[in-house]
Every structure is written in C-alpha cells, then in structure tokens.
Structure 1
Amino acid sequence: MPNTIQEAKRYLDNAKEILREKAGKEDGYYQDKKYVKLAGHAAYTGVLVALDALFDNNTKRRKDVDWYKERIAKMDRKALNAFNGAYDTLHLAMGYDGNLVAEVSTAGIKMAESLINWVETKTAVA
C-alpha cells in the first residue's frame, strides 16, 4: 500500500514539475495549454491511483467517475467534496480545457494533495 501512495505522490510531483518547468507562468497565467493539460492529467491520475489502492481495485479496466463517487460517499462527505472538486478542476478545467489561470491549477493540485493524504491516513488506520 505505501508504494501505491508513493506512486500517487510521484504523479503529483510530475504535475507540479510540468507546471513549474514547462507551462511558463507569467502574471498569474500559464502560457502553454499543452502543459497545463498534461499536468492536470498527471495530478488526476495520482488521485485515482491512490483511490484504487484504498478500494483494493486491482482491475486495470477504466472506471466511471461515479464508481469513485459512490465509494467515497460511503466513507466521508468532505472527501467526496474534495474529489468532486479535483475532478472538475484537474480532469475537466485543466486536463480537457487547459485553463491557463494559475490559481485554478494551484487549487487543483492542493485538492489532489489533500485527497492523497486522506487516502494515506485511511490506509494507515486499516
């Protein structure tokens, strides 16, 4: 389990590095949509890797976002809010739209960190 959390954190570190090194931040905006999209996908993947570990999901098949929402809702409403925010911010606004507003990316990364830390806490107790 700890290796999986480390893997999730590695995805998040990669997302931060992409934004820092390649997206070109200027006056609160990133300059390159391509790298914002890559960072959003990387960070969201980190969240899913952590959640898959929590839910003992070893299948490699793609799961619908509702699959995650249902399971999180049974455990913790605050975590569900964070997941919904991460989905909207990382997956949609960054990953698909390439939103160039740096504050959006910052908020998304923080939500991802909070979710991964939540999973780490849950798995440490188990």
Structure 2
Amino acid sequence: MQAAGTDAWSRFSSQVARWLGRGDAQSEQGELERLRDSASELLSAGQAEHVRLHHEALWQERIERLLETLGDLERRQAAEELRVLLHGYARPADGTGTAVGRDVNVRADNGSIAANVLNGGAHIGRPSMPDPSQG
C-alpha cells in the first residue's frame, strides 16, 4: 500500500486486479476500481498510519476470502501465483533494497558520489593515465 500513486502502483494494482478477477473481466475491473479507491484514500490521508493499516487489513481480508473459496489444488496454484506477483515488488530479504512511501531523490554535487544502493566500492579522483601501448 506504500506505493499508492506511483508507476509501480499502477502496474502492481493491474496485476493484483487480474489475480483477484481469476479470469473474469468484469470482476477484474471491479477489483481495479477498488484498488484505485484505496490509492486515492491513501494519497488523501498523507502520512496517516491508521489509514494505511486499514487498507492493508482490508486487502489482506479480500485475498484470504478469495483463497478460502478455492479448492485445494486451485488454492495452491493461486497462492503460488500471488507469491510470484508479490516477489516482483518485494524488498530484498538481505536489506539491500529501499522501501519508500513516495518519491526518492538521490543527488550528488561538488564531485561527490550519490547512490541509493551501492554494491561494491566507489572511488573519487582522477582516472589513471592509460599505458601508451593502449593507444
């Protein structure tokens, strides 16, 4: 729910609506509208934690209810589909990613380095001169 209003939210909500719709276009459209309504309420509420928690609980309940209506095999398949869908949006378990509620701006100035996540080393300075044999 923290990504509401972002491009990632648009992609995510479309995929979740498709998953919830289970092949029924009308149901999918209804779920997409409900997800848009949630996003709108979350954006209007700003940083109100209770609103975010309410919507998280609401969607968790919708997902649980849908899973309860499915037979064992279909439930396992749907749960795996949902795991795959969510994995694409989850923060890495090793904590190297960044979870944000809105925009992220990373800037560097005066010859410095800026990075949201930096894997490996970084060096600021003049590059070494190439060997004359390298042209």
Q: Is the TM-score greater than 0.5?
A: no
Greater Cα radius of gyration, structure 1 or 2: 2
More helix per residue: 1 or 2? 1
TM-score, structure 1 as length reference: 0.34
TM-score, structure 2 as length reference: 0.32
